[in-house]
C-alpha cells in the first residue's frame, strides 16, 4: 500500500549533515590538547646518552640540564656554578617532595653531573638521570 500523494518517488536528500563529523573532530582536538600537555618540552638542547630500559617521573620535578660547555640550567634558567646549590634549594622549596632530574649532555664532564647529584642528595631529593630510550 502506497501512502504517498500521487505516484512521485521520494528523492534523496541533497543536503548532508556534518554534525557527526564535527563531533569527531572536536573529540580529536580535545584528545590531542590533553595529551600534548603531558609532554615536557625542555628548551635547552642536550644530547643525553641512550639506555635500554627507562622509567617516567612524576610531574613534580626539578630539571637540571648540563651542557657540553659546562653551563648549568635549573628549570630552564641559566645558573652559575657557584649558585647551583642555592637555585636547586629554591626550586625544592617551591615544589616540595619533587624529583631532581639530571639531564647531562653526553659530552659533559662527569664531575659536573656528580656535583649536581651530591647537591640533590644533601637536600634529600629523589635523583633521576635522564636518558633517551635506545631505538631497536
Q: Structure pTM?
A: 0.55
Domain map (residue ranges) of the chain: 50-133
CA 34 to mean position of chain CA atoms: 12
| Each residue's pLDDT tens digit, 96-136 | 888 888 888 888 888 888 898 899 888 888 888 877 766 65
Pairing of strands 126-129, 99-104: parallel
Helix ranges, 1-136 (H)? 19-36, 84-94, 110-122
- Residue 64 contacts residue 72 (beta carbons within 8 Å): yes
Longest dimension (CA), the chain: 94
Mean pLDDT score of the chain: 78
Residues 102/66, Cβ–Cβ less than 8 Å? yes
50-133 folds as Nucleotidyltransferase; domain 5 (3.30.420)
Amino acid at each position: 500500500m502506497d501512502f504517498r500523494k500521487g505516484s512521485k518517488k521520494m528523492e534523496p536528500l541533497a543536503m548532508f549533515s556534518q554534525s557527526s563529523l564535527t563531533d569527531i573532530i572536536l573529540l580529536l582536538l580535545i584528545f590531542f590538547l590533553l595529551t600534548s600537555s603531558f609532554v615536557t618540552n625542555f628548551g635547552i638542547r642536550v644530547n643525553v646518552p641512550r639506555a635500554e630500559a627507562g622509567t617516567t617521573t612524576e610531574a613534580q620535578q626539578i630539571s637540571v640540564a648540563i651542557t657540553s660547555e659546562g653551563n648549568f640550567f635549573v628549570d630552564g634558567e641559566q645558573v652559575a656554578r657557584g649558585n647551583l646549590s642555592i637555585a636547586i634549594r629554591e626550586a625544592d622549596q617551591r615544589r616540595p617532595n619533587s624529583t631532581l632530574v639530571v639531564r647531562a649532555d653526553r659530552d659533559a664532564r662527569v664531575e659536573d653531573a656528580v656535583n649536581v647529584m651530591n647537591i640533590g642528595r644533601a637536600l634529600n631529593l629523589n635523583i633521576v638521570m635522564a636518558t633517551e630510550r635506545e631505538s631497536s
